[in-house]
Amino acid sequence: MSKMSKVMLGAVGVWLVMGYLHATLNLGFRPGKLLGLEKKGVTEEARFRVGFLPVT
């Protein structure tokens, strides 16, 4: 592999990593959810919230 190809490959790698970080940290992309490894948040959202202060 030529030196130029290695530089190109490295640049693409860096771009992919940066893109992934941007998607997960800034855009809320959750790969685990897409792969079905993460539980859906629907149950949490659908919960009936009741507020309380820890006093009687």
Site for other proteins in 36-55 (CB under 8 A): 48-55
CB closer to other proteins, 27 vs 53? 53
Tell me the closest approach of the beta carbon of residue 40 to other proteins, in angstroms.
21
Q: What are phi and psi of 10, to 5 degrees?
A: -65, -45
CA distances from 33 to 19, 27, 36, 43, 48 (A): 18, 14, 5, 14, 24
- SS3 state of residue 37: coil
Tell me the closest approach of the beta carbon of residue 43 to other proteins, in angstroms.
15
Tell me if 4 contacts other proteins by CB under 8 A: no
